[in-house]
Amino acid sequence: MLLEAAGIRKSFAGVHALRGVSFDLRPGEVHALVGENGAGKSTLVKIIAGAQTADAGSLRVAGQLVEHYTPAMARALGVAVVYQQPALFPHLTVAENIALALESGGPSRGLWRRVDWRASDGRARELLARAGCVIDPRRLVSSLSMPEQQLVEIAKAIGARSRVLILDEPTASLGTREAESLFGVIDSLRAAGAGIVYISHRLEEIVRIADRATVLRDGQTVATLARGAFGPAELIRLMVGREISAIFPKCELPLGEVVLETRALGSRAAGIRDVSLSVRAGEILGLAGLGGSGRTEFAETLFGLTPADAGEILLGGRPVRIGSPSEAIHRHRIAYLPEDRCRHGVVLEMPITANTTLAHLEAVSRHGWLDNAAERSLTRGLVERLRVKTDSLYTPAGALSGGNQQKVALARWLGTRPAVLILDEPTQGVDVGSKSEIHALMTDLAKQGVAMIMISSDLPEIVGMSDRIAVMHRGSLAGILNRGEATQERVLSLALGAAGAA
């Protein structure tokens, strides 16, 4: 066994990411690891790579039980990880990057030894050839495309004589031909006796190249299947296979007029094309898709962050151009609750009051003069309505819990009285109590006739809360499901681009 993990547990700040995962890897096999977003794949990979330490469970690498495991130990034991985002030094050449990875044997080799650059060029050329590509080792990494950078990472792993190679979504940015050549490299590594952990959302690839597949769901191992025992449908069933655990406060309302419509909307900068959909007053339109499928980019286009360069946006039936967030907010009454609240949502240093009124200062000021009493009373109203737990309205947002920060971010947009509210992962990283309060609030807003677009990776949430679900795949719309016909399996099939699944 190259790798044996048993009963691995890991939690972050009380939230369980892994709850008893077992996984093993034999020499000369490709073992696929599959699961929805948030199933625990990345956490498991980080633990195997030594980047994080498990809370409980045992990990054997190359037959050796490891404790106090670090990334350096992982490397010494022959574990290499190629992440989705290559971790290379952009200002150094390919050869320098490879040499740094292979020759820096730590301080034991001496900090002052000379680097033999000429030898490293030849070495890099050879390793790149074994990785199945022709890249000039003297090129700067910043001039390489994403697939080329990934191949450099693989060359590094080959050069380190890694016995365990973990590939995290290696084909996400590759074209068909590049993917084929990668499969060739994987075959030759497998033939040489290495073990490969292969993570991908592309189920057809997994069926094609994996010898075994392990399915993770909610931080647990659901099943490990041998080649021949799994097909795409079986994998999807195992990945989803959960009951809708929470009761969603969904209330089916008669829908109003179409408020927002897009016709063949596209934006090259945002990487989306040909998106046609509509939202009615009082409707919650779920927007599903994998990370990187263009959901957030579509929202950013509607909000004027990356203005559209193709197609039309219609508001109340009239075509409009949305060139900036300010136009979206003030002229078109569109609100956007961004995905990463710490980076884009609340301003951590600012008090709750200033955070709440930031997008509609005109409501609490006259001719640019702020009315502190008006600001206080508006904030107090929203804080009470959203049940933000705080001692004072002047507490800095950074001192609140995640759920309460999200409520403050939401309060900002409720204050603008939007006609269209876009919520990007509104309950991600939010505690269960705040989550159901946010859902109740959405139902409330629907009753008031607000048109909502809810982006979510949480399948039960999207199926439970949406009137209709639009599913995106690689920058365009894969399909739209009505509430009656939407199941988690169908949403996931569309998101994975499984042909004819809907």
> What is the SS3 assignment for 483?
helix
CA dist 14 and 277 (Å) reads 39
Q: Does 53 bind another protein (CB under 8 A)?
A: no
Q: Does 402 bind another protein (CB under 8 A)?
A: yes
By C-alpha distance, which of 99, 97, 102, 49 is closest to 74?
Answer: 49
Q: With CB under 8 A as the contact rule, which of the stretches 26-34, 42-50, 149-157, 310-318 interacts with another protein?
A: 42-50
Q: Does 315 bind another protein (CB under 8 A)?
A: no
Beta bridge partners, 286, equal 454, 469
Q: Does 343 bind another protein (CB under 8 A)?
A: yes
By C-alpha distance, which of 248, 240, 286 is closest to 422?
Answer: 286
Give the angle subtended at the CA of 327 by the CAs of 326 and 333, to the nearest 5°: 95
Smallest distance, Å, CB 304 to another protein?
9
Q: With CB under 8 A as the contact rule, which of the stretches 7-15, 161-169, 191-199, 221-229 interacts with another protein?
A: 7-15
Q: Does 392 bind another protein (CB under 8 A)?
A: no
Chain residues 77-116 in contact with another protein, contact rule CB under 8 A: none
Q: With CB under 8 A as the contact rule, which of the stretches 143-151, 361-369, 468-476, 487-495 interacts with another protein?
A: 361-369
Which of 86, 345, 464, 475 is close enough to bind another protein by CB under 8 A? 345
Give all strands of the β-sheet with 79-82 in edge-to-edge order. 79-82, 164-168, 195-199, 30-34, 212-217, 220-226
Supply 403's token pair.
């759920």
Smallest distance, Å, CB 403 to another protein?
9
Chain residues 423-482 in contact with another protein, contact rule CB under 8 A: 428-430
Supply 84's token pair.
């989705």
Smallest distance, Å, CB 157 to another protein?
23
Smallest distance, Å, CB 209 to another protein?
25
Smallest distance, Å, CB 46 to another protein?
8
Supply 346's token pair.
């609340």
C-alpha torsion 404→410→414→418, nearest 10? -170
User: What would the DSSP string read from start to end of 232-297?
Assistant: HHHHHHHHH-----SPP--------SEEEEEEEEEETTTTEEEEEEEEETT-EEEEE--TTSSHHH
Which of 116, 180, 309, 349 is close enough to bind another protein by CB under 8 A? 349
Give contact residues for another protein (rule: CB under 8 A).
11-13, 15, 17, 37-38, 40, 42-43, 46, 303, 305, 324-326, 328-330, 336, 338, 340-351, 354, 358-359, 361-362, 365, 368-370, 372, 394, 398-399, 401-402, 405, 412, 428-430
